[in-house]
Amino acid sequence: MNPILNVRQLTMDFGGIRALARLDLTVNHGEIAALIGPNGAGKTTFFNCVTGLYVPTSGDVFIHATPEKSVRINGMKPHRVTRAGLSRTFQNIRLFKEMTALENVMIGRHCRTHAGIFGAFFRNRATRDEEQRIIHDSYRLLEIVGLEDQVNFRALNLPYGDQRKLEIARALAAEPRLLLLDEPAAGMNSQETRDLTSLILKIRDEFNIAILLIEHDMKLVMTLSERIFVMDYGRKIAEGTPEDIRTNPDVIRAYLGEDSHA
């Protein structure tokens, strides 16, 4: 096993409320894993802690971009986490709405490119070349998610499903080793969800990266995931293959409520 993300005893308190309680979680290279659980279980909080938007109360988060190199990222600023090889999408889409699809993806390239103020003002050769490469790479990513025809459309004019795909393309532009998707299928119809399933598989195979997704659509989760983590009340209550999870009594209880004897 070759872990890319290693989370140990992660705890997050908001005032007196414990949103995450001593969470352990490992995602391996090239793996598609899912994080599921009822609403309010702490899944998005987990993403926010891992990506540096929240500073966890205690615990450790490591990224192993390569087997030899491991970086402890808890408490690190979000932009440095992204640079360390982790990028994400958001549950409530956070695109740059006034910008075009292309520009959105180009922003994603920011942390892998270098042109500074000097380059901006004097537009030397290196800057021009880099700019062309950014445009080219960004266009390629839009092709992969199937948005090449909307390249010059403003993000706010795209239909909902396309906005989700654009967010994925933008996240990919940061060259992550692990891609975190927060409810990528929310608001999609069944045809769109099927397309998304194949897109996620395609991304994993083409870029050879790991994907961790939060999702409520069980069909998508069960089809895609190699491993599933189940959370409830900020704790991890189960972990395993889709088969294990389907039959786990704790999981059933969490989903159907304490009182039911299903």
Partner 1 sequence: MFHDKAGYFFELFIGGLTKGSIYALIALGYTMVYGIIELINFAHGEIYMIGAFTALITAAALTAFGVTHPLVLVSVSGITAVVYASAYGYTLEKVAYKPLRNAPRLSPLISAIGMSIFLQNFVLLAQTSNYIPFPNLIPPLPFLEPVSHIMGTVDFIILCTTAVIMILLTFLIRKTRIGTAMRATAQDKTMARLLGIDVDRIISFTFITGSALAAVGGVMVGSKMGQINFYIGFIAGIKAFTAAVLGGIGSIPGAVLGGLILGWTESFGTGYLTSDYEDVFAFSLLVLILIFKPSGLLGRNTTPKV
Partner 2 sequence: MIDTLLKSLRTALWFMFLTFPILAVRIDSLKNAVTVRWPAVIILGAVIFLISVLWHTAGLVKRSWFFRFDGFKQFIQRLPDQDALSPFMIRTTLGAAAVFMISLPFFASSYQTNVMINALLYVMLGLGLNIVVGLAGLLDLGYVAFYAVGAYLYALLNLHLGIGFWIALPMGAALAAFFGILLGIPVLRLKGDYLAIVTLGFGEIIRLILENWDRVFKGPSGISHISRPSLFGIGIMESSVHHAIIYMYYIVVVLVLSTFFFVSRLKHSRIGRALLALKEDEIACQAMGIDKMKTKLTAFALGATWAGMAGVIFAAKTTFINPASFTFMESAIILSIVVIGGMGSIPGVVLGAFFLVLLPEYFRELGDYRMLVFGGAMILVMVFKPRGLLENTKPTVTYVSQQTGPDTP
Q: Which helix (H) or strand (E) holds 132?
A: helix 125-144
Q: Does 89 bind partner 1 (CB under 8 A)?
A: no
Nearer to partner 1, 1 or 17 (CB): 17
Binding residue (CB under 8 A) for partner 2 from 15, 17, 68, 136: 136
Structure tokens at 182: 């927060």
Q: Does 44 bind partner 1 (CB under 8 A)?
A: yes
Name the binder of 14 from partner 2, partner 1, none, CB < 5-8 A by kind.
partner 1
Name the binder of 54 from partner 1, partner 2, none, CB < 5-8 A by kind.
partner 1
Binding residue (CB under 8 A) for partner 2 from 2, 55, 75, 79: 79
Q: Is 54 within 8 Å of 48 (Cβ atoms)?
A: yes
Q: Is 32 within 8 Å of 83 (Cβ atoms)?
A: no
Q: What order of strands is seen across the sheet that includes strand 86-88?
A: 86-88, 178-182, 210-214, 32-36, 227-232, 235-240
Burial bucket for residue 142 (CB in 10 Å: 0-12, 13-18, 19+) = buried
Q: Is 102 within 8 Å of 142 (Cβ atoms)?
A: yes
Q: Is 118 within 8 Å of 209 (Cβ atoms)?
A: no
The whole-angstrom separation of Cα 226 and Cα 192 is 21
User: Smallest distance, Å, CB 121 to partner 1?
Assistant: 27
Nearer to partner 2, 71 or 151 (CB): 151
Burial bucket for residue 87 (CB in 10 Å: 0-12, 13-18, 19+) = buried
Which stretch, 25-33, 66-74, 151-159, 233-241, contacts partner 2 (CB under 8 A)? 151-159
Q: Does 57 bind partner 1 (CB under 8 A)?
A: no
Q: Is 225 within 8 Å of 12 (Cβ atoms)?
A: no
Q: Does 262 bind partner 2 (CB under 8 A)?
A: no
Q: Does 121 bind partner 2 (CB under 8 A)?
A: yes
Binding residue (CB under 8 A) for partner 1 from 2, 9, 14, 156: 14
Q: Which residues bind partner 1 (CB under 8 A)?
A: 14, 44, 48, 53-54, 90-92, 94
Q: Which residues bind partner 2 (CB under 8 A)?
A: 51-53, 77-79, 82-83, 87-88, 90, 94-100, 102-103, 106-108, 110-113, 115-117, 119-121, 123, 127, 130-132, 134-136, 139, 143, 148-149, 151-152, 154, 170-171, 173-174
